[in-house]
A and B are shown apart, each in its own frame.
Chain A
Amino acid sequence: MTDNDLAKTDEVLEQYKDRAGNLIPILQNIQTKLGYLSKETIKYISTKTKIPVSEIYGVVTFYTQFRLQPIGKNIIRICHGTACHVANASKIADTIFEELNVKPGGTTEDLKFSVEVVACLGCCSLAPVMMINDKVYGRLTSEKVKKILAEY
């Protein structure tokens, strides 16, 4: 961990000091600041909070939000909820995987994109839908997806 990473981690830990049941928000905050949770980060959190590494690792691997690997600059979330499934979301997903040459859950070699398939983004009436960072794109077609990806 760099000094900068350490400082950021300490800042979060300080914020939640002496408050019970805050492991999840601690991890969420640190991940937001560092991008992912490295082995060293987890060990460091364990030393500071006195929560065993095994328990932290258990929580990290239970929730899909947490990442143990670095991620790309832009996160693409492809919705695969019911409405999107009915609207042929698999085709949209295939287009993205093909265009970027990545697998579900993977990151492009240039660290530009990470691609996740998620259960439901809750914009069902715009199906099929994907989200790049905080922006939602709806009523997708393979052609539209290619154009959108080119914008990044």
Chain B
Amino acid sequence: MEKIVGDNLESNITKIKVGLASCGIAAGGLEVFDKIDKFLDKSKLNVKLEKTGCIGMCYKEVLVEIDDEQFGSTMYGPVKPEDVDEVLQAHLIDKKPKTEKVLFSDKLGGKEDEVLKHQTRIVLRNCGIINPESIDDYLEQDGYKAIQQVLTEMKPEDVIEEIKKSGLRGRGGAGFPTGLKWQFAHQAKGDIKYIICNADEGDPGAFMDRSVLEGDPHSVIEGMLIAAYAIGANQGYIYCRAEYPLALKRLRIAIKQAEERGFLGNNIFDSDFNLKIDIKEGAGAFVCGEETAMIASIEGKRGMPNIRPPYPANSGLWGKPTNINNVETFANIAWIIRNGASEFAKYGTEKSKGTKVFALTGKIKRGGLVEVPMGMTLRDVIFKVGGGIIGDKKFKAVQLGGPSGGCIPESLLNTPVDYDSLTATGAIMGSGGMVVMDETTCMVDMARFFLNFTQNESCGKCTFCRIGTKRMLEILTRITEGKGKSSDIDLLYDLSDKVKKASLCGLGQTAPNPVLTTLKYFKDEYIEHIENKHCPAGVCKQLIKYEIIPEKCVGCQMCKKVCPVDAISGERKSVHKIDQEKCIKCGACMDTCKFDAIRKL
């Protein structure tokens, strides 16, 4: 992690960087940036102000780094627009920095380096360090050196061998060995071949790819260049979802800059290798993350999967050999070439090499983006890196792999994060979304949430996926409404099995996983819903009720005012009452009550 802290290229000039990825902007980053700009204008200080990508500490956004001679690098956060003048005045002019806002620093202390200490940053090596809209910043970090090395010193076979040796596996979810995939496309017969970058990050709860594209787009382009050379492609596509406007914008800038400098186009580095990259915007269909569906979508069709074989390596886009890798996979490539396969293989476990980026979200203290060596235990990721559960509540489960994955309970927290160990639990590595849940999360509701998602996103081609997921959703919905039957659990098992077996693509084959894992580890909760019509977590609306605690109610009438359906009655200064018939269980009364006089049963 010294890189973030110690990166100081023009050592005399003070630099200020503001984290302006989507999260930073959402937290008010642009206002902070403007405020800093105005302050610097007014004070006429010689300071270089820059934007940078995701540093990963989303829970402390907006993040501002000041790097000067006297104090070295100092990370401030969270910085609000109204804090700017004070922080800058203290740091730059009075030279007495406001240490209570310092997260970590070379010389000024700060406790938040804990979150970075356990990380190993390969994919995120430049995120939060460089200005993603400047190719010069990327070049300063030895950018495009790997493709130069590849084009001047290596044959395509050598490149493939090197990637195979590194042990890199696809980071999109399935974990297929990347080098082997390239070899298939390389060996496939045909003059025209295509390379595609899968940036259709659709798993709810995952934002690794967005952060890489927003923070370091050139590393993805360089990875694509190396892959294209290895398989013999001259045309590339980046399929990115339209819901990521900032990632798309930064990709367009990066491609234009790379073209201007001759890293994309014809005769790259005076070789006879040419590559053109175009962007294809997704149009909002989760299934398009599946390879064959993505190909159909790029061809301008409905994005429905096709039967494999033939695999895209032999017959992909417009029937030509095609290689598809995910954003994170590509972002690893240049690093592997420059540092060597064996250096990469030092990290990780026997069968899962390197690092994995996770998006830590849910009820976790330090939510954000983290990159850890494969093989670290889930417990360490959640408690050491993530800082544990908000409010120190009890950990209940962690959801991995989005709608294709599963919920892992406390008893399995010592499972190492690698492809094979996670698959053994019934979950999957997936793309890297990690949603942490505490005792206030209902597992049946969680399963219903994911089924609702997959049922919506099923393209409808395979009957079991189209209708099976709908029936499963109906069953889960009735359980959460207190209308479940004791035969429902067996029915869910039966349907799960059939949907898995009779679906063509990953979406259907994995759709039952959230149901199966919650049934495996949290069956009690299902039974409690079905037999006792009770939701232990207090989430399922039909199974809970709000009640006023007479001893605590002072009759202030606040709850009566906020109730949207006039379900609360009672005179001023006398105990109020909730009409259970009228109550819609929105919880507004409980949020408003200042005396903790309302409880949820």
Residues of A within 8 A of B (CB): 20-25, 27-28, 58-59, 62-66, 80-87, 91, 94, 98, 118-127, 129, 134, 136-138, 142
Asked if residues A23 and B300 are in contact (CB atoms below 8 Å), the reply is: yes
How far does the alpha carbon of A142 sit from the alpha carbon of B589 in the complex, in Å?
A: 12
B203: Cβ under 8 A from any A Cβ: yes
Q: Is B395 an interface residue (CB 8 A)?
A: no
Query: Is there contact, CB below 8 Å, between B302 and A82?
Result: no
Total A-B Cβ pairs within 8 A: 135
Residues from chain A with a CB closer than 8 A to the CB of B207 are: 120, 122-124
B423-479 with Cβ < 8 A to chain A:
433, 435, 437, 441, 449-450, 453, 457, 459
Question: Shortest distance in angstroms between A91's beta carbon and chain B's nearest beta carbon?
Answer: 7
Cβ–Cβ < 8 Å partners of A142 in chain B: 588, 591
Whole-angstrom CA separation of A66 from B564 in the bound complex: 34
Question: B437: nearest residue on chain A (CB-CB)?
Answer: A86
Partner of B242, one of A65, A80, A98: A65
User: What chain B residues lie within 8 Å of A87 (beta carbons)?
Assistant: 362
Q: Considering the chains assembled together, what is the distance between the CA atoms of A125 and B283 in angstroms?
A: 24
Flag if B26 contacts A63 (CB, 8 Å). Answer: no
Task: Give A129 to B23 CA distance when docked, in angstroms.
Answer: 10
| A13 to B: closest C-beta gap in Å | 14
Question: Which residues from B are CB-within-8-Å of A66?
Answer: 283
| B362:A82 contact, CB within 8 angstroms | yes
Q: How far is the CB of A60 from chain B (nearest CB, A)?
A: 9
In the complex, what residue of chain B is closest to A85 when comparing beta carbons? B449
A16 to B404, CA, bound (A): 37
Q: Looking at chain B, what size class is its interface with the partner chain?
A: 35 or more
Alpha-carbon distance between A120 and B284 when the two chains are bound, in angstroms: 11
A98 touching B564 by the CB < 8 A rule?
A: yes
**B402:A63 contact, CB within 8 angstroms:** no
Q: How far is the CA of A28 from the CA of B242 in the complex (A)?
A: 10
Of all chain A residues, the one with the shortest Cβ separation from B514 is A82
When the two chains form their complex, are residues B286 and A138 in contact, meaning their CB atoms are under 8 A apart? no
Q: What 8 A-B pairs have minimum CB-CB distances, sorted nearest first?
A: A81-B204, A125-B58, A63-B283, A136-B26, A82-B205, A125-B367, A23-B300, A64-B284
A121 to B207, CA, bound (A): 9
A126 touches B437 (CB 8 A): no
Q: Which residues of chain B in 280-296 are interfacial with respect to chain A, using CB atoms and an 8 Å cutoff? A: 280-286
B513 sits at the interface (CB 8 A)? no
Quick one: CB contact mask for B234-245 with A, threshold 8 Å, 1 for yes?
000000001111
The one of A24, A80, A91, A118 that contacts B243, using a Cβ cutoff of 8 Å: A118
Tell me, in angstroms, the Cα distance from A129 to B301 when the chains sit together. 32
Given contacts A63-B285, A120-B203, contact A126 B23 (CB under 8 A): yes
Chain B 10-54 interface 0/1 with A at a Cβ cutoff of 8 Å (1 = within): 000000000000110111000000000000000000000000000
Is the CB of B298 closer than 8 A to any CB of chain A?
A: yes
- Minimum C-beta distance from B541 to chain A (A): 9
Q: Which of A24, A120, A125, A136 has the most CB of B within 10 A?
A: A125
In the bound complex, what is the Cα–Cα distance between A69 and B510 (angstroms)? 34
With A123-B22, A136-B22 known, 15 other A-B pairs at CB within 8 A are A20-B318, A23-B300, A25-B281, A28-B283, A59-B301, A59-B302, A63-B285, A64-B284, A81-B204, A82-B399, A86-B362, A120-B243, A122-B210, A124-B205, A125-B58
Complex Cα gap A91–B242 (Å): 26
Q: Are A21 and B298 in contact (CB under 8 A)?
A: yes
**Which residue of the partner chain, among A25, A82, A91, A122, contacts B22 with CB atoms under 8 Å?**
A122
29 contacts between A and B (CB under 8 A): A20-B299, A21-B318, A22-B300, A24-B281, A24-B283, A25-B281, A59-B302, A62-B285, A63-B303, A64-B283, A66-B283, A81-B204, A82-B402, A82-B433, A82-B449, A82-B450, A83-B361, A119-B202, A121-B243, A122-B201, A124-B207, A124-B367, A124-B435, A125-B361, A125-B368, A126-B61, A136-B25, A138-B23, A138-B26
User: Does B303 contact A62, Cβ atoms closer than 8 Å?
Assistant: yes
